Chain A
Amino acid sequence: MNILYTLFYYSKALLTDKVTMVVKTLTPILMMLVLGAALKNTFTAAQLEVSNVIVVADDTAYNMLDKNIDDSFLAISRAADLDEAMKNYNDGQADAVIKIDSEGSDVHDIVAYVGTNNNIKKIVIGSSVNDLKNISNIMHALADKNVDTDKLFKEYCDQKSLLSESKITATGNIPRAIDYYGVTMLVLTTMTGALIACDHFGAIFSGSVGKRIKSSNMRVYENYIGMFGSMFLVNMIQGTITLMIMRYICRINLGDNMIWNVIIVVLASAMATAIGIFTCTAFNDAKQATKVLNMVLQAFAFVSGGYVKLDFGFLKYMTPNHYVQSAMFQNIYSGYGGSFAVSIAAICIITVLCLGGAIILGGREIRYGTNI
């Protein structure tokens, strides 16, 4: 019962701290929006923006293109010659230049100059050029066999299948910047629960209330589990609120399985709380522990790619953030890498180890006896 009373009264106390609640909930959303906007070019765009292409071609080739191109992907304009096309391109009027040279030859020589940094646009333009080359080659081959290529070409064009066979979708497995930072900031804010747990636990347990509790007949594990429960509950609520805001207000792509997202946030909240309590107990000095934890959490976030999408190789496996991020990305974009089950198991193991370690250390600290 002592565990339940501790959980109830400390939760009540923590939930009245509205400022911390609001700040902790809104900070990751703000960071997500800032980082998402600032670093969006390092990510693949999710929407297929129209690629502007300047075409240098004779009438036949240009008409063929103009008739059959899907203008939701490509917007083509014509230039008289390559010099004019390149000038316009250099002026930033286009993402690429395509030159279709068929003069004096049956073979269409197709050259593309692609200058955009946008991966999707590169793919669209590249795909279009390849299709043009294929069509050109086929027509040329069929012409050699005396096939009526004009008729065939007309039929082909009528099907409007020039690009349809290699459609590109961005709604599948690749996150936008804001989606990526949505997840990493959610992980970061959940892990910030460790800091709050350390701070609160230190204030209570290392402070004067702690003295009163230590001098009472309450068992160490009762107090630790009760306090863990209350802080976990608060972290979990904050994390879940943040998750919901991201999903339903900020429209972050969190996949279709929200239940697993919530479960991951709940487990991550438990892990963060346990880490905070363990650190505070290990240092036996809340201020010192908070300082160290503050630095360590930032390092964890950085190494796990929370701020910048970098791969630190083996090092990332040393950070608890990695397992939470990994689990979330696997849930949202299945096949992100690693194993979902391993990530979930790792989160649970870290939680149990930290909480168990804290209880053991805490027991040694306040037990009667000689100095340890």
Chain B
Amino acid sequence: MVINLDKLKVSYGDKTVLNNYSLQVEKGEVVGLLGPNGAGKTTLMNSILGIKKISEGKVEIFDKDVKKHEKEIKKDVGYVPQEIALIEELNVYDNVAFFTKLSGLRGKEAADKIKELLEFAELWDRRKALPKELSGGMQRRLNIACSIANHPKLLFMDEPAVGVDPQSRNKILDMVKTINKQGTVVVYSSHYMEEIEAVCNRVIIMDEGKIIADGSCEQIKDLIIKELAVRLELSEINETVIEEIEKLDGVSKVEEEENYLNVITEKGSNCLESIVKVVFENGISIYNISCDRSNLETAFLTLTGKKLRE
């Protein structure tokens, strides 16, 4: 097991941020921590990393107790902080070089690694620039490059793509996928469900320091899906076709909206074929059919009663 948290409790003064928090993460996973600001995502990461003290509970990484094997464990752990964690007075190359050398690489091996990291972050051409001379997206990519200088087996990424343009975000998400393919387990926190859906094969929805839901994106969505909305664009709509569809098993509601017929069906009823058959039997043409499934945003709203970016 890569991460094993057992009944973790973390407090800020009198306020308990994480309480009785347990979590297991396996090899190969990209775990998304999804939650609004203040949900406890950063605190969870900082507690696992040893930046924030834990009040109670046990943290194991690579099946080793972090209290007893801190240095050994941290050698294989990387961290991308939410803020840009770069030394502003050093240029791009020196920033990566510093963290690469701290990871223990020396000489040509270090030089090759630095070049590899800068090429991976598409920053080799800007290696002599200072961080402040880079765009927000470039700074974020450099932030990630510095974090993986030690080629970690476990990488924590705390909102690594926050505040960047869509193109840069896609590049960062591609980087995360590549890092994972190279064998690194990634714990990725965000309050952007698109990012989580794009890179994570497991999602943990957090709110007020608690796990609200845990599973794959599909599993999370299924948790809240009780109905499926089918929207049909038809050549014409009459009373007969509405009545016949209403009588079908699994159909709970039919609504007419100009040339559209909105049919609400029960989850798992599989009555789409029957609906289409009724329409054809009444001599009506179908121009378009769409099925509205829930997304993570809807799931989050349903599970917590809050919007992600409240």
Contacts and interface: CB of A to CB of B under 8 A. Distances in A.
B94 A12 contact: yes
A128 to B, nearest CB: 63
Contact of B53 (A10, A13, A372): A372
B149 to A, nearest CB: 9
A48 interface: no
A217 B67 contact: no
B85 A211 contact: yes
Interface stretch (A167-175, A202-210, A255-263): A202-210
A13 B11 contact: no
A14 interface: yes
Contacts, number: 97
B50 A5 contact: no
Given A2-B102, A208-B83, A215-B77, A371 B55 contact: yes
B51 A209 contact: no
B50 A367 contact: yes
Contacts of B11: 371
A12 B90 contact: yes
B74 interface: yes
A217 B50 contact: no
14 contacts: A9-B94, A13-B87, A211-B85, A212-B79, A212-B85, A215-B74, A217-B74, A366-B50, A366-B51, A368-B59, A368-B66, A369-B54, A371-B53, A372-B53
B121 interface: no
B250 interface: no
A211 to B, nearest CB: 5
Contacts of A371: 11, 53, 55
Nearest to A219: B71
- Closest A-B pairs by Cβ, 9 of them: A13-B89, A208-B85, A208-B83, A217-B74, A215-B79, A215-B49, A217-B75, A9-B98, A212-B85
A370 interface: yes
B79 to A, nearest CB: 4
Contacts of A1: 101, 106
A342 interface: no
Contacts of A216: 74, 79, 99, 102-103, 150
A5 B98 contact: yes
B56 interface: yes
Interface string A321-359: 000000000000000000000000000000000000000
A10 B49 CA distance: 24
Interface in A4-23: 5-6, 9-10, 12-14, 16-17
Contacts of A212: 79, 81, 85, 99, 146-147
B179 interface: no
